[in-house]
Structure formats: C-alpha cells, structure tokens
Structure 1
Amino acid sequence: MKHTNRMTSLESVQKRRQPVRIPFMKTALAVALACAGLPVLADARLQGYVSAGEPAIALQGARVRILELNREAVSQRDGRFIFLDVKPGTYTLVSSYLGADDVQERITLVDHQTHQVNFSLKGVSGVVENIIVIGQAAGINKALNKQRSADNLITVVSADAIGQFPDTNVSEALQRLPGLSVERDQGEGRYVRVRGMSPDFNAVTINGVGVPGPDADRRAVALDVIPSDLLENLVVTKSVTPDMDANSLGGSIDVQSLSAFDRDGFFYQFTAEGSYDDNTAQTSPKLALTTSKRFSVGSGNDNLGIAAGISHFKREFGSDNVETGGAWDFGDGQDLLEEMEQRDYRITRERSGVVFNLDYKPGNSTHLYWRNLYSEYTDKEIRLGTVIEFDEPLASGEQGIAEVARELKDRAETQKIFSSALGGKTDFERWSINYGLGYSKSGENEPEHVAGAVFTLDEGVIADEVFELGYQGKRNIRVNAPAEFYQAQSYRLDEVELASSDTNDESLSLHLDFTRELTLADHPAQLKLGVKRVEREKDNDASVWVSEEFIGDTSLTQFAAGPVDYRLGEFGPQIRARAIKAVLDNVEEDELESRIGDFDITEDTSAAYVMGRIDLGNLRLLSGVRYEQTDFSARGYAYDGVADEMNTQTFSNDHDYWLPALHVRYSFSDNTQVRAAWTNTVVRPGFGQLSPGRVLEEDDGEIEASFGNPDLKPLESSNLDLGIEHYPGAASVISAYVFYKSIDHFAYQTDLAGSAGYEGFAEAMTFVNGKRAELTGIELAASRQFSNLPAPWNGLLVGGNATWVDSTARIGSNDDGEWSERDIPLPSQSDVSANLMLGYESDRWSARLSANYKSEYLLEVLDPLDVDYDTYVDEQLQLDFSLRYFVSDNIKLHVEALNLTDEVYYTWVKSPRYNAQYEAYGPTYKLGITFMSF
C-alpha cells in the first residue's frame, strides 16, 4: 500500500491526467474490438443449455458435471454452459438443479468438434413446469441454485420472488435478504445496508457497471430511484473475488435488468395498480410493461434478443412529525427541553424507469450485449413547520416564555440514474475473453425553490413577540399553547430564502478479462486475469438567495390556506408558496452559501488482477490478488471571514493497494457445503467528507472554522467469512455464517479546536481518520417448502433469516487542550436485523405475510465527547401482506398492504425516552391486475 499526497493548481491536475486517460482507453478499446472479431477455433468443446417448461425458461445456477473428469460448469443467465479443451472420449454428463430431478447422459467427444447437449429438466410433482414461472417457492428456488453454485458467498433474489412482496423499489426488495436492511426516507426504503455496514461502504452496479451516487455528499446509491418492475435479478456479493471492484466493505449489489434470453419465445407482462395512503387519503396510480422476444438473424436460430420495459408510479402521501433535534439539557440530572419543532409533510413522488436490452449471438462462441437502464425519481415536498425556542430550558408539564416561528419549505428534487453496458464474451480454443465498456451517470437537480420562508410573531398583534407555552411528553411531544398560537394573524413574513442545486456524477469504465480452463496434475483448474479502468467525475453547484424586503401586506393571513391535517395535535393554517414568491423584493445572492458547497472531484482508478481456481476432489480453492491505483483531485472554495476573501483551492493525491483473497468451498454432497473466505477491500470516504470547502469566521474575537478534508485516507478492510449451507430440497435451505471485519482509517467528524495548528480556535469542525474499527457477526437463514405434506398443507412455505452484529470504532476530540477518545458502534449498524415469512400457494392463488425487523442503530454523533447526545434510530418492526390470485394462466389479481402495524420512524438521544424525531406515516394499501404471456 502506498499513499502520496500533494497540493497543486487545477491546471497542473488537468495536464497530469490527460496522458493517462486517452492512451489507456484507446488501446484497451482496440484490443477489445480485436478480440471480438478474431476467428474462433472449436477444439474438443462441449456446450449446451439447461432449461425447463414449455415454452422454455432458462435456468441459471444448474451444475453440469463430467463425472469421469471431475469437471464442473455452471449454467449462466441464459442457461448456457460450456467446457473448453476437453480430451476426446466417452463421458457421463449430469445436470443437477434444486427442485428438479438429476438428468444424466452419456456422450462421446471427438477431437476438433463441438458437441451440443441440451437439458430440459423435469421436476417432482410438476414443480418446474408450473411453479418455476409463477410461484413464490419457484422464486426462492431460482435464487438458491445461483447461490449454491457460486464460487464465493452471494445472496440472490429473482424477479419471481420480488413480485411476491409488496415492494415498490429495489431497496425494499433487498431488505428481505439475510444480512441486509434498509434506511427509510418518509417510510420508503432508500439506502441498503449490508451486514451492518453503512450504505456508503457498499458498491452498487447495474448489469455489472458501477453506479455513482446521485446525492451531493454521499457515495451511497439511493436505490429507491429504481423501480422493481424492470428487474430480473438482484445479486448481493458478500465476499468479493479478485476480478471484482474492491470498493465494498459490506457487500456489492448488482441490479440485473431483464434479457430476452431469460426465457424462450415471446414474453410480456403488463401491470396496472392503484395504491391508497391511509395518512392522507390519497390514491395513486402505477403502470408497468415489460416484454421480450427472440429473432433469427442471418444463419442463426433465435440469436437476437430484444427486451424492453417501462414503469411509472406516482404516489401522493404524507407524514406528521415532531422533533427536538436532540436539544435537551441533561445537566445536573435534569431533562429539560430547549427547543422543538412540529412538521407536516405533503409529498408527491414519481418513479419512472425504462429498460432496453439487446443480446446477439453471431455464432456458438460469441455473445454480445448492449444493456441500458434509465430511471428518474422526482420528490415534490411541501414542509410546514412550527419552530419553538424556549428562553429557558423547560420541563414537561411546565409553562415558559418561547419565541415561535412558522416556516415553509417547498421544493421539487429530481434524481436520475442512467447505466449503459456494451460488451460480450468470446470463447476460443482454450481461452475465453470478456470485454466491456460501461457508462453511467447519476444526478440530483433542485430547481429554484422556497428553501425557507420564515414568519415570526407580529409585534402589532403579539405585544411581547413571545408566547407562554408548555409541552407534554418526551417521546411523542404535544404542545400546550393559547389560541393565538394557531392563528394566522399572529405572524408576519420576516425572511425568505430561495435556493437551487445541481449535482452530477459521471463514470466511464472499460474492462478486459481472460479465462483459461486447464488441468493441473489431473485436477480441473482455471486461470483468470484482467485489467480495468474507471474514470469518475463528480461536481456540485448550489445557489442561495435571500430577501428580507417585501411588497404589500406580509401578514400570514395573506398566505394562509385551510387547516393542516396533523395527527399529532393542532397545527394551524397551511401556507401557499406561490403567494410568497409574488411579494419578494430586492432578492440578493448569498455568495458564501452559494459557493462554499461547490466542488469538482475526480477519481480515476486503474486495476489489474490475477486469480486461479482448482478442484481437488470435493474441495474448490480460489485465490488471487488485485492491484488498484486511484488518482484523486478536488477543487473547491475557501472563505476567510477575517480577511473577507473567497479563494479557490485544489488538492490531489493518489493511493494504491495490493488486495489478496482466498475462497474455499468444500462439498460434502450436492446439497451440503461449507465455505470460507479471506478478502481485502477498500472504500474512499464520502464526498462531503472529502470536500475542499472551508469556512473561517470570527465572532466577538472567537475564530470558528468548518472544512472538509481531501487528504482523508481510504477505509481499508480485511474480511473473514466462514459458514455452512444445506439445501434439503426445492425452495429449501438452512445456512449459518460467521463474519469478521477489521477496518483501518475509519473516518468521522470532530472538533480540532485547541489542538496543534488550531490553538486559537473556538471551534474547528472537520473530518479525521480514526483508529481501527471492528465488526463481528452471525448470519442465519432458513426456508422450507412443505410440498411433501398431505393437502392442504403441501402449499405451506416458511422462511426466515436473522443477523446479529457487534461493532466498535474509536473516535476522539480535543477537550481543553487534551485529546479524549471513546468507543462507539459503527454508524448505521443494527445489532439485530431479521425477516420472517409465512406463505401459502396453490395452483391459483398465493398469499404471503412478512415481517421485517431491525434493532436500534447509531444515526449521528452530535458531540464526540458526550455519549448522551449520540442520536439513535429506534427499533422498527414492519408487517406487510400480499395476496395473488390467478384468474387464468395469463391474468393475475393482487392485493397488498404495507406497514400494517403503523410503524413510526423514531430517533432519540440518551435513551428512548427523549425525542430527537418522531414521524408517523400510516399503512398503504394496493390493488392491481397483471396480464402476462410466457
């Protein structure tokens, strides 16, 4: 590992990067195109397809073995398997797939010839022919076959399984998997955590192409942007291999969109749905269409596949909120409240997506593809707030003097993700070559909007410009106030802030992978090596304007609408944003706020790897090493309030790593195996932490500063996994894993005031690297289809998983000239996360009741030296239900209910008694119909 840091001008950064970018990309692309066009020599090759049903459904994850040679191939997504460089002779070929009978065939291979063997699997009691297409057990079965046959530890959910849950987006679908949980936004799943690791520490790809995050300050990809209707598989890798990007401490999530080679013939599926939000009594529509078909081009048979899909969902809903932000005074054993806020949200979310994929097989040895996914997510939010600041901290049940303000925020935010993957695979006599070019772009745009309209007490109506107020409770806090507190005439417009922002994150990647099947001392083996180049650029541009001068009457009565429907007590009138914009006068730009958050960051990564695999009887060993080198540069702004100067500043550094890995899989039988893995991964800190922005201000002789730290070291993790898997039958598994992660350079925010270099500062808030963090966990999963029971119990399906995680990280801060430290759990890590599912299905209907649980987790450290102000998200248990009925083979009705327990989002400080935020959403109900053809 090597780290090099340097400061330079923007011009020198650009000059330095150019010689690296262009030659590498041009040369590698030329090699990839040349590989695609080389003639193919078929020498002792065995290939074929594994499928089921009529019309055929491609089966991925089937194990195909040549018994006499102990060689194994795994069917890929299109059902295809291949053995290269097989000695001539007569062999026994066996196909094994969970939920189906093994199929065996004797074959004779002749030198310089290609032998084609296709397996059409038959199931027990019609499992494959029927359930593989429409049943919830079939969805589980598909996933388990892929997991069982993988060289490393993965968890999979297929489109069939996604369709059985009432999940709207990708993140909600992933929360059902062992070791995964979600962070919610307004009740909807948004960011995904893997094995207790923050979403910022997990990689996301779409069809194998890395996806940058649309948020300005985070690496995490907001997976609620992507509709679940356009997917074929979700694959979570928990132990990466050397041929994978190393940017995942917890895991890597691959979103795979549909392909025409996933199934035979013409396919379509159209869904129309309406949802009802209990909190706002709003009804919202959803439409989704996916289709695929194969065509014969040239001399090929069904060698061109086209798949497309479109989805649109508009949801109107809301939430009711009361929060303190942790503003409690716990001094001298007290629990007094300093300030609080009531909030009412009215939200409209539109989630749209388009998929267009092409697959082309010009011959038996080449498969080319072009896969595209575009998704757009618009979040329109009207937030009304009542802000209360007590003159003196107040106890529950007491009355005290308070300043009060009414506030409005009205904004529309659009996040976009586009991913395009162009590439293919060509099989030669002894080598296979994968080649691909990927482009992805994400962004977040907020057009000019009312970021804050503040109404303060009108001195002509409220003489002292304060109220005597009180409150009740410490969790779901209720305000005790006089009637004038809720009346519009008590308030007058004081200040309006307008804002806009635009964030873009763009990535271009190119990879070449070479694979060679060989034999070492009569043991089947594989050698794989490759290179990859990723060039990424992220920029953020924000603007802020402020007005304190207005035209006409500014009483809140001129802007008020009807009363707010607020379930947590009385609130007062609504506020109209358009009316506010109409009275603005002398709007001035806030130069500091407009520029200090702007930045332009580039990260260019070059990687190379080599890895090998060998089968020693029932033992499979995979080992290798990956080398990654990243060049980083950043440009931003620094404001010196003492000198009243705004300057541009630039940073650059580079890091490189050697990342070895070892994976072990031992099979006691086809259905029982143990796994072990030692891997090394690395993730750069978040963009907000790396931002070069810096603010230095002086107030009454005290100097305060806040700034990012572009010189933060990346987080490095050494990971151990050990577990056992047993597959007792179709849609059934019992697995247990233990895992351990040792993380160097954990990054956190702290105050450096008083330490070396900041001796004269009253405050110096920035980000620093901490010492080692550690995480240990146990992951259990089980599912069982009871098809062997007598009717009607043979339709019963039970599944569950649970993960226990314990972590620790050390943080510190300067305290009166002394550096003090303490231990915290890793942020965003629940000690327990679990899922329980009870399902039942017959030939015509299918029902599922599912519970999702996660224990409390650390959200934010407000004071590095005071544990009482650590903010935690309270435990959550959500209960969902879905019912599907097949009117015919091609028409399906479904009814779904989400959040039946009316689970709230609650955060607290010190203990669950003390509110930081309380937010209620209510349940959602859905009714829909699906037309489909297989």
Structure 2
Amino acid sequence: MKQLGLLSPLYLALFATSMAFPSTSWAGKVEGAITDEATQMPLEGALISIKELNLKQESGRDGRFFFQDVPKGKYTLIAQYLGGSTYTQSLVVGEVSLINAQIELKGQGLEHIQVVGQRGSLSKSLNRQRAADNLVSVLSADALGNFPDTNISEALQRVPGISIERDQGEGRFVRIRGMAPDYNAVSMNGTRLPSPDSDRRAVALDVVPADLLQSVEVTKTLTPDMDADSLGGAIEVKSLSAFDRDDTYVNVSTEGSYDEMTGSINPKLAGSYSDIFQDNIGVAIAASWYNRDFGSDNVETGGKWSFDEPTKLEEVEQRDYQINRERVGLGANLDFRPNDDNDLFIRTLYSSFVDTETRNGNEIKWEEGALADTPTAAEATRSLKSREEDQAIYSIVLGGESRFDTWTVNYQTSWSRAEADKPRYIGGADFEGEFDDVAYQNSAVPIITAEEGFYSADNYLLDKVEIAESNTVDTMASAKFDLSKTWLLADRPVAVKFGAKYSARTKENQEDIWIFEDFDEQGITEQQLSMSQFAGAQPDYNLGRFGPSIEADPVWSLVNGMDSAAAKDEIESRINDFDIDEDISAAYVMGHIDIDNLRLLAGVRYEHTAMQSQGSGFDESQDDFVSNNTDRSYQHWLPGIHLNYKWSDKTVARASWTNTIVRPTFGQLAPGFLIEQDDEELEASFGNPDLEALEAMNWDISIEHYMGGLGVISASGFYKDITNFIYEADLGGYGKYQDFDKAETFVNGDDANILGLELAYVQEFGFMPEGWKGLIFTSNLTLSDSTAHISWQDDGVQGRDIPLPSQSELTANASFGYENPYVSVRLSAAYKSEYLVEVTELDDAAFDVYQDAHTQWDFVAKSFITEDITIYFKAINMTDEPFYAYTGQNRYNAQYEEYGRTFQLGIQFINY
C-alpha cells in the first residue's frame, strides 16, 4: 500500500499533463439504454463495456450509458446483467452510435414478479453492488415490500453490516458496522438532511415516505468526491424519477395494523404516481399517511446501584407509555431533458411527524438502598409527563448533468429545513409520599411490592409541576459542482474528476421552563393537592402492580390559574438555548486508470470547518449567568486509494485506504452549562464546544463471487484507527474538576480501533428443480472487535480500556423466502450484540451502562390476486423481544421495556 501511496500523485500528474494536449483521434459518442426485453423496464447497474478499448461503466438508474469521445473504428459492445442474458453488439463509431439494448431476464415469466418480487429486487441490488468502484450495498424500493418492515430504517437492517436503533419499538436510526447513528451520514438526492432533534446529527429514516423512493445505497468505503463525515458509512436515499420506468406508474396501498400492547387498530394509506410527457418531461409524486396508537411498559433503575457489599438498589421507576404517532410524507419530483446532452431535475420532500406521548411513572428511592426481597422505608413519587412533539422536514434540490464533447459537469443546489416544536406541555407533575415497607424482586426486571397504602392516591400530595415548551430549527443550504473527463492514456482508459462544495448549517434551540411549587404559600389546601383529585384509571401495565394514573386536565386547570411569570425558571430556560453555525467548504480531485482488469482510483479531499456557537450558563456560586460563545475553525486533508480487480465476470476483489471524520453532535457541542452549589458540594453539567472532530484512517479489503442465477458469496475485512473519539463522562474529582462532586460532560478519548469481518451469502434457487426454484435465502454476519482508551488525572495519569461506545461486536441477519407466480413468503431475523452506552464512572467499569443483545423475528406473506393487485400480511416482533440495558453486569437493570407484537393486513395495487 505504501507503493500505491507514491504512485497516486504520479497518476494525477499524468492526468493533468494529458489534459493540456488536445485529442485528435477521438471522434464519436456511444450512447444507449439497457432495458428488460419482456417489460421494457430500465436496468440499472448493468456492466457496459467496449471490448477493444477496455472502456467500462455501469448503466444509470434509467438504464442509460454514455461513452464520450470514442475513437473512430469498429468495436464490440457488451452488456452484462446478473439474472439476465449477456448482450453483444458490433458497432461502428463515426460521430454518434445510438444503442437500444435489451436483456432477457431469467424468471418465472410473470411480469410483476420480475419487476417487484423478491428476485427483481435482489437482481437490482446485486448488479449495483457488482458494478461499483467501491464497497456498497444497495436496497431497491421493491425490497421494502419483500420484508415485514414498516419503514426504510427497518428495511436497511437486512443489509450486511447494518443494524438499527429503535424508539418505542419502532426502527428509526441506522447503525453501520455496529457504529452509532451519529457516526454515519444520511443524504437524500445528494444533499444532507437536517435533523429535527436538538442534540443530534443523525436523521430518523422513518420520516421519508417509502413510496417516493427508488433505492437506498449504503457506501462503506468513501471516495474523495463524497462528503467525508462518516465513520461507519454513508446512506444515500434516491427518490423516485419518472424515467426509472418507461411508462405510466401507479402504486396505491391501504393497510390496517393491530398493536398487541394496546389493542388498537391503526390505518395507513400510501400512493405514488409517475409519467413521462412528450418523451422528455417526467413527473413523479407520492404521498403517505400513517396514524398509529401504541404503547410500552418500562421499569428502569438508571444505573442507581450501590455495589458495596452487599449490593443494594437505590432507585427504580416504573413507567407506562401511551403513544400516538401520525406521519405524513409528500414529495413531488420533476425531470426535464431538453436534449440528449442535458438532464435537469427538481426533487422535493415534506415530512411531518407528530408524536403525542403520555407517560405515567412511579419512582421509588431508598435512602440507604434496598436489598432484594427486603421491605424498606422509601420515598415514592408518582409523576405524569404529557406532551406533543411536531417534527417536520422540508427539502428542495435543483440540479442537473450536462455532457459536452470531452467533459461532463454535474451541478446541484439545495435547501433543507428541519423543525421540532413542543408546544406548552407537562414536563412533570410530581406527587410524593413516604412508606415504610417497599421492596423489589429480581434485579434484572425489578418488580415492586409494597403495602396497600402505596397504591392509594390519597397518600400522595402534589409537590411540583414542571411546564415547558421548546423549539428546534436546523437549516442547511448547499451548492456543489463536479467536472469529469475520460480518455485514453498510453492505450489505457483514464478518468479525472474534480469539484467543490459549500454548505452552511444553522442549529437553533430555544426552551422555556416553568416550575410551579410551594402551593401552600399560594393558599392551595392539602385536599386540593391530594392525588385523588387528579387520579385516573390504573394503566394496563404488565410488569407488576402500578396503581392509579394521573390525568392531565386537572393539572392544567391548576397551573392555568397560577402566576406563570413568577413560576418561570430563568436558569433552566436560558442554559438550554443555543445557536450553532457550521460552514463547511470542501474541494477534491480524484482519478482512475484501468490496467487490464485492475482499476486504480486515487484522490484527496479537503474540508474546512468554521463553527460559531452562542449560549450561556449559570454559576450558582456566583449567582449569575455567564456567556459562553466560541468561534473556531479546523481543516482536514483526506487522501484515499481504491483498488478494484475483476478476476472474472463473476468475481470482484476490492481494497481501499481512506480517511474520514465525524464532527461532534450538537448536544455534545452545546455551550450551555449549570454549576450548582449545595453547602460544600459542587455539581456541574455542560456541553463542550471545544471538542475535536473524530478522525479515522480506514483499511478495507473484500472479495465477492457472483454465482449462477442470482447469488453472491462475499467476505470483507476492515480496520479503523480512530483518534479523538467522544464519550460521555463524569469528570468530578479529576483534573480541573477536582473540587466538584459531579461534572458531567463530553470529552475526547485518547485513541480507539476497530477490527472487523463481514460475511454474506445470498442465493435464489431458480436453477434448481421444480419445487425448489422458488426459494431465496439471504444471510450476513459482521464481527468486530473495538478497543478505546480513556484517561483522567488522579495523582498522576490514570486510564483504562473500554469498547468503543455504541459499537456492537456482532450483527447478523438472515431471511428465508419462497416465491412463485401466486404467493410470496419471507421469514427474517435481525440480531445485534450488546454495546457500551455510557461511561458513568471514569475509574469503575462496574457502573458502565450497556444495551443488551437484541434479536427480532418478522414475517411477511403475499398473495398475488392479479398481476396488479396484491394482498399482504405482516407479523412484526413475533417473539415479543424486549429492550434491555444493564449496569456493569447483565443481572443489574438499567432499563427494561416491552412493546408487544404488531400485525398488519393490507392490499396494494401496482400498475406499470
């Protein structure tokens, strides 16, 4: 690899030199489109080559290909597509050679099976993967319906090396190679999507309507023309274009789902339409609506254990959630081709996510801690949280491609905005009581046992009510261009590409909090404060006896009659407000040369980051607010080399050396802080605007063998050398926080590394005898081993090794499918191993919080009533797998939550 590092500047120099001399032998173009012979549908990812010149490229999403400036002469054009026959055509190049190539797909002879069935989606994915210069995995839009998944995030967990993070049982965020969502990048139509969450960069992929998609591509080895801000990989969502198909397209579905936890039945509607007008104008529109009532049962300790002998539990809380989520997605896309050399497009997205949540909680605190099965005096707090959160994402992208005689230019500008608004809501209504005999059973899933009075609302009085409202806005604007050129250098195909990008991002967060307390001083009697005045029915809670719930309306009646101005918490309101501006300027140059079956791609990317943050903190020891504004910039040079060697039409080997970065999240950078003083104790919590970006040097090697019919077996190894990784820690008692009892913040770690192996096997058995040829099997396994080092000052430098936070050592997926012209069924499983969530105590691993391993089984069955109409049934989380996190050892609860099963029944109409 060192030799390659020396050669790459030489090749780039040769590229630059050759560009200075005009070419006299290049005289024509070879243009065309690859389509399915039976359906006329465009075939993306077909390998197109001009044999005599060793010129190669893949067909685009509309099946088209373009060879510019081809020398005059007679040649052989070859088109290869997995799952189809090889196309060969002799051609004579003069000025322009137009090709209309058709490939016969091998299948069952039923059109919609070829187009949208398991084989069709598998064929599209494998062809794109085989043709790529770097290591990618592709999920076509058709595949979304072949798995029992309700959104893009859940569908992506079937891709090798991918697992997901769930929120209330729903898949929302994607993990690549076991790495946390904020370590990965998400783009749509070539532009980054902003995040409505105040503290994150990661985008929940359930906000994008699946009916608007053409494909989702996961890139694990970045090339210099790609944004460099990812450690695990980059996810690119490509929305529907009318030119993805050759005729009018209509897709309408309606669905009802049953939630086992709440017994609710929930509706879903979706539809998409596209058409081509006058052969050069394409229009695609899509819409989806989903309204879901569901819930979960939870019990958590938050890691509040005392591990002194004997081990005692200090705090535990029961939680019952009742949730409604309504999603609306809209998109309209326009493509215009004024002539054969220019393509223009507009891509739009509107997504609305309204989350209404009611949470009833019982929190128990034992002053001296409690032994299991030992009744002990405790303080209990019954609480209510009731809020609505409205999230929305808007995006518009304008761009195009122009092909000149010797150059191709791509250009794009975009504007995106994400908002999260929480109108005035109940952040916590707390009713307190004291009891003599409260105990717990089972340290993993604590069950509370208590005297009868514990469950009586008459024994609790209202202590305080927290009311809050907040608003987050994340706005991004960007512009970029790319210039590329291909020619022959010493009879070897050579290409060069360079470009630049500028993006400006602003993240604003504003929050206001009111605390209503000391009710007796305002003439409110104990009888009026009794929980019996606010109590509702007992929740349907499966993890022990719960007691009465708390109704929101009486709480609102109480606080609305009180003085809000006097209740305003100026400290909490101000320290959570911030503005962060982030401007990124980037430029790159890269090129490749083909030497027989080897393609060498090399280049370098430069990124300059300028960041400004504004916020304030409160120092209780000085009884004053302190402004905390930062203005800093940093830059990165990020070289990369990729080798792609095609041993044969069936076998591809790849190797790469790349450099990437991950910028801290906005929650980690937040400038607000709070220093509290209680007698002699000092406690602080704060973000860290001075955090360094994580940097990674990545080494990857892979080999893929594509088998007869549709199948692949592959192995990929990767190693990541990481500096400046970020973790959450309590620095109290260490270094400059020596006088603090607690100092919770985010810090850069010393170094970390990840060593991993990905294995995948995919096979459809169309080559087998009748009765077997309908089978499809897919499986993948990712193994990784990570080590990170953290250190602190305590009578000298102390330190210990930990796993890289949020890094799973093992992720695995498997699915068994069967398909014929009448039915399609698929059973699938997704697994991810435990991973470190938080370092609670720097010097004591016993308090590290881990999320436990998780396995989920899902099932889907379809019946093809006609070529256009399909009825489907889906069963999600068939084994009722819970969420579990633990403290130090698996038997000590940090959080346990159950979600139940979900069943869906729907009907879909697709007309091509």
TM-score bracket, normalised by the shorter chain, equals over 0.9
1:833 aligns with 2:808: no
Alignment of 1:114-153 (within 5 A): 114-126=96-108, 129-153=111-135
Q: Give the secondary-structure state (helix, strand or coil) at the position aligned to 2:546.
A: coil
Alignment correspondent of 2:857: 879
The Cα shift of 1:366 comes to 0.4
1:505 aligns with 2:483: no
Alignment correspondent of 2:60: 76
Alignment correspondent of 1:721: 700
1:848 aligns with 2:830: no
Distance 1:128 1:233, change over 3 A: farther
User: Structure 2 stretches of 5 or more lacking a match?
Assistant: 1-25
Alignment correspondent of 2:635: 656
The Cα shift of 1:754 comes to 5.0
The Cα shift of 1:442 comes to 1.5
Aligned partner of 1:482: which letter?
A: E
The Cα shift of 1:753 comes to 4.3
* Matched-pair contact (CA < 8 Å) for 1:745–1:769: yes
Alignment correspondent of 1:570: 545
Could you list the per-position Cα deviations for residues 127-178 of structure 1 after superposition, in whole angstroms to 9, with x for gaps in the alignment?
A: 6955331211211110110010011111100011111112112211111111
* Matched-pair contact (CA < 8 Å) for 1:202–1:251: yes
Could you list the per-position Cα deviations for residues 329-365 of structure 1 after superposition, in whole angstroms to 9, with x for gaps in the alignment?
A: 1113x22111111110001111211111011100000
The Cα shift of 1:467 comes to 3.4
Alignment correspondent of 1:307: 284
Aligned partner of 1:323: which letter?
A: E
Q: Give the secondary-structure state (helix, strand or coil) at the position aligned to 1:331.
A: coil
Alignment of 1:308-347 (within 5 A): 308-332=285-309, 334-347=310-323
Alignment correspondent of 1:358: 334
Alignment correspondent of 2:155: 173
For 1:834 and 1:418, the matched residues in 2 are separated by 34
* Matched-pair contact (CA < 8 Å) for 2:709–2:765: no
Alignment of 1:414-563 (within 5 A): 414-457=390-433, 465-548=434-517, 549=519, 553-563=528-538
Alignment correspondent of 1:35: none
Distance 1:797 1:378, change over 3 A: same
For 1:708 and 1:561, the matched residues in 2 are separated by 39
* Matched-pair contact (CA < 8 Å) for 1:202–1:247: yes
Alignment correspondent of 1:207: 189
Could you list the per-position Cα deviations for residues 362-395 of structure 1 after superposition, in whole angstroms to 9, with x for gaps in the alignment?
A: 0000000001112111111100000111132111
Alignment correspondent of 1:820: 798
Alignment correspondent of 1:24: none
* Matched-pair contact (CA < 8 Å) for 2:112–2:867: no
Aligned partner of 1:511: which letter?
A: K
* Matched-pair contact (CA < 8 Å) for 1:853–1:878: yes
1:64 aligns with 2:48: yes
Q: Give the secondary-structure state (helix, strand or coil) at the position aligned to 1:703.
A: strand
Q: Give the secondary-structure state (helix, strand or coil) at the position aligned to 2:664.
A: coil
Distance 1:128 1:102, change over 3 A: farther
1:272 aligns with 2:250: no
Give the fraction of aligned pairs with identical amino acids, expressed as a percent. Answer: 48
* Matched-pair contact (CA < 8 Å) for 1:896–1:926: yes
* Matched-pair contact (CA < 8 Å) for 1:751–1:813: no
Distance 1:53 1:451, change over 3 A: farther
The Cα shift of 1:771 comes to 1.1
Aligned partner of 2:287: which letter?
A: I
Q: 1:749 aligns with which of 724, 728, 733?
A: 728
Alignment correspondent of 1:910: 888
Distance 1:536 1:389, change over 3 A: same
Could you list the per-position Cα deviations for residues 104-147 of structure 1 after superposition, in whole angstroms to 9, with x for gaps in the alignment?
A: 1111111xx22210111112355695533121121111011001
TM-score, length basis structure 2: 0.94
* Matched-pair contact (CA < 8 Å) for 1:359–1:370: yes
Q: 2:236 aligns with which of 254, 259, 276?
A: 254
Q: 1:866 aligns with which of 829, 836, 844?
A: 844
Q: 1:892 aligns with which of 856, 865, 870?
A: 870
Alignment correspondent of 2:387: 411
Alignment correspondent of 1:18: none
TM-score, length basis structure 1: 0.92
1:628 aligns with 2:631: no
The Cα shift of 1:859 comes to 1.4
Q: 2:180 aligns with which of 198, 214, 217?
A: 198
Alignment correspondent of 1:220: 202
Aligned residues: 877
Could you list the per-position Cα deviations for residues 504-539 of structure 1 after superposition, in whole angstroms to 9, with x for gaps in the alignment?
A: 111111001000011111001101011111111111
* Matched-pair contact (CA < 8 Å) for 1:230–1:311: no
1:386 aligns with 2:362: yes
* Matched-pair contact (CA < 8 Å) for 1:827–1:859: yes
Larger deviation, residues 728-737 vs 273-282 = 728-737
* Matched-pair contact (CA < 8 Å) for 2:781–2:810: yes
The Cα shift of 1:730 comes to 3.5
Could you list the per-position Cα deviations for residues 714-755 of structure 1 after superposition, in whole angstroms to 9, with x for gaps in the alignment?
A: 111100100100111343111100001011111223344455
Alignment correspondent of 1:665: 644
Distance 1:53 1:580, change over 3 A: farther
Aligned partner of 2:89: which letter?
A: E
* Matched-pair contact (CA < 8 Å) for 2:27–2:71: no
For 1:444 and 1:626, the matched residues in 2 are separated by 33
Larger deviation, residues 490-499 vs 266-275 = 490-499
For 1:726 and 1:767, the matched residues in 2 are separated by 44
For 1:218 and 1:291, the matched residues in 2 are separated by 34
Q: Give the secondary-structure state (helix, strand or coil) at the position aligned to 2:541.
A: coil
The Cα shift of 1:800 comes to 0.3
* Matched-pair contact (CA < 8 Å) for 1:400–1:470: yes
Aligned partner of 2:73: which letter?
A: G
Alignment correspondent of 2:15: none
Q: 1:802 aligns with which of 764, 772, 781?
A: 781
For 2:634 and 2:600, the matched residues in 1 are separated by 30
Aligned partner of 2:393: which letter?
A: I
Distance 1:667 1:807, change over 3 A: same
* Matched-pair contact (CA < 8 Å) for 2:292–2:324: yes
For 1:69 and 1:789, the matched residues in 2 are separated by 38
* Matched-pair contact (CA < 8 Å) for 1:167–1:228: no
CA RMSD of aligned residues (A): 1.5
1:44 aligns with 2:28: yes
Q: 2:266 aligns with which of 278, 284, 287?
A: 284
For 2:445 and 2:618, the matched residues in 1 are separated by 41
Distance 1:758 1:323, change over 3 A: closer
Alignment of 1:705-716 (within 5 A): 705-716=684-695
Could you list the per-position Cα deviations for residues 532-590 of structure 1 after superposition, in whole angstroms to 9, with x for gaps in the alignment?
A: 11111111111100112375722222222222101112111221112111012233110
Runs of 4 or more above 6 Å deviation = none
Larger deviation, residues 123-132 vs 274-283 = 123-132
Distance 1:401 1:125, change over 3 A: closer
* Matched-pair contact (CA < 8 Å) for 1:751–1:764: yes
For 2:371 and 2:733, the matched residues in 1 are separated by 34
* Matched-pair contact (CA < 8 Å) for 1:500–1:543: yes
Aligned partner of 1:822: which letter?
A: R
Alignment of 1:90-105 (within 5 A): 90-105=74-89
Aligned partner of 1:766: which letter?
A: T
* Matched-pair contact (CA < 8 Å) for 1:437–1:511: yes
The Cα shift of 1:86 comes to 0.2
Q: Give the secondary-structure state (helix, strand or coil) at the position aligned to 1:863.
A: coil
For 2:105 and 2:683, the matched residues in 1 are separated by 71
The Cα shift of 1:55 comes to 4.5
